[in-house]
Homo-oligomer: A and B are copies of this chain.
Amino acid sequence: MKSKDRLPDKKSKVTVREVALLAQVSETTVSRIMRKEGSVANETRERVMNAVRELGYVPNRLAGSLASLNTNLVGVLVPSLQNIVFPEVLRGIQAGLSGSHMQAVTSVTDYDFATEESMVRGLLAWNPAAVLVTGLNHNEATSRMLRQSSGRVVEMMEVDSEPIDVAVGMFHRSAGYETARYLLQKGYRHFGYVAHDIGPDRRARLRHEGMAQALSEAGLGFIAESRAETPSSIGIGKVMTARLLERAPDVKVAIYSNDDMAVGGVFHCMEAGLSIGSDLSIFGFNGLEIGRHLPQPLSTMRSNRFLIGKTAIEQILQSPERPAEPVRIDTGFEIVEGATA
């Protein structure tokens, strides 16, 4: 053993008690100093801080939070980390959190309501200051727990229906509607739809509904739809595009459930020797970085994912209390005019 014997013993835990003893003050004073709250004589503070350093004291938040009846925890539930969308929401959350003393606890539901329920239960057990969940749909038990929980509840990504406390996101139905309107105005008449498994993805379904409505108002509809039974990926986007064109070779523009799928469509066309924009036009959803850098920039609809995460945190930082009426914050969406549609 080469370590100096003066190092704190790893066995014996150091608590406020040890620090107080060493610094010759009360535990309260130590606590006050650690929390940077109340006023303390400079001389005392230094004595205590020296003891803290000497002992390598780290306050136990379990005890602190239990005593003060409030944690600095924010529980976060996202459905997936498979594509870059939710990591970007998480980045927004981290950005919003930085500077605050809050800490995020993240779990992944895999788009499954039962999993969501057990994770919400697990999160609430920590008495978080807030819980951020994805979407406005949950099962009965989850909704009840969230409604009854003492902290704030933010439902992220969509504002299409009424939230429990506050919702931050966009209107997916409108996004779908505007997508179809945009393409109709560009003169397209032969529409196809390519999607991942949107069964568990209510927001993708809402967008599809909006598109269908706009088309129907124009006396049109999708000539063909090609839906996978797996989560979205570039690979499955390629496969589903091939399938769409086999089934309906006269499709002139394909709307995709999201950018990952759309990029797959772009790659399919490149390989099949199809000219994108004339043989087949492509429109995505999300506005991911990759779309901007494709040889022909992807036409798509930007969702403001980072902003959603950041705004969600700003909301809960603003007030520890729920508003009298549920609030919806629309982070909007914009058409990204690319070269593929």
Binding site for B on A (CB under 8 A): 8, 10, 13, 56, 58-63, 65-66, 71, 81-84, 86-88, 90-91, 94, 103-108, 121-122, 124-127, 144-145, 147-148, 150, 233-235, 238, 263-264, 267, 270-271, 289-290, 292-295
Please judge, given known A-B contacts A13-B150, A106-B106, A267-B295, whether A121 and B58 are in contact too, CB under 8 Å: yes
Q: Within the assembled complex, what's the spacing in Å between the Cα atoms of A292 and B148?
A: 47
Q: Which of B58, B86, B127, B144 has a CB less than 8 Å from the CB of A62? A: B127
Task: Report copies per complex.
Answer: 2
Interfacial chain B residues near A124, Cβ < 8 Å:
58
- Interface pair B290/A290, CB less than 8 Å apart: yes
Interfacial chain B residues near A60, Cβ < 8 Å:
66, 125, 127
Interfacial chain B residues near A238, Cβ < 8 Å:
293
Interfacial chain B residues near A62, Cβ < 8 Å:
62, 65-66, 71, 126-127
Please judge, given known A-B contacts A59-B125, A61-B126, A144-B56, whether A290 and B87 are in contact too, CB under 8 Å: no
Q: Which of B86, B107, B267 has a CB less than 8 Å from the CB of A94? A: B107
Interfacial chain B residues near A264, Cβ < 8 Å:
293
Interfacial chain B residues near A267, Cβ < 8 Å:
293-295
Interfacial chain B residues near A56, Cβ < 8 Å:
144-145, 148
Interface class of chain A by DSSP: helix
Q: Which of B66, B83, B125, B233 has a CB less than 8 Å from the CB of A58? A: B125
Interfacial chain B residues near A82, Cβ < 8 Å:
87, 91
Interfacial chain B residues near A295, Cβ < 8 Å:
267, 270-271
- Least distance between A302 CB and chain B CB atoms (Å): 16
Interfacial chain B residues near A126, Cβ < 8 Å:
61-62
Other than the known A91-B108, A94-B108, A290-B290, what 16 A-B pairs have Cβ atoms closer than 8 Å? A10-B148, A56-B144, A56-B145, A58-B121, A59-B125, A61-B126, A62-B66, A81-B87, A81-B88, A104-B105, A104-B107, A234-B290, A235-B293, A238-B293, A267-B294, A270-B295
Interfacial chain B residues near A71, Cβ < 8 Å:
62
- Interface pair A234/B293, CB less than 8 Å apart: yes
* Nearest opposing residue in chain B for A10, CB measure: B148
* Nearest opposing residue in chain B for A126, CB measure: B61
Interfacial chain B residues near A125, Cβ < 8 Å:
58-61
Q: Within the assembled complex, what's the spacing in Å between the Cα atoms of A81 and B78?
A: 14
- Least distance between A107 CB and chain B CB atoms (Å): 7
Please judge, given known A-B contacts A56-B148, A150-B13, A270-B295, whether A103 and B122 are in contact too, CB under 8 Å: yes
- Interface pair A90/B81, CB less than 8 Å apart: yes
Interfacial chain B residues near A108, Cβ < 8 Å:
90-91, 94
- Least distance between A218 CB and chain B CB atoms (Å): 34
Q: Which of B65, B86, B106, B127 has a CB less than 8 Å from the CB of A104? A: B106
Interfacial chain B residues near A10, Cβ < 8 Å:
147-148, 150
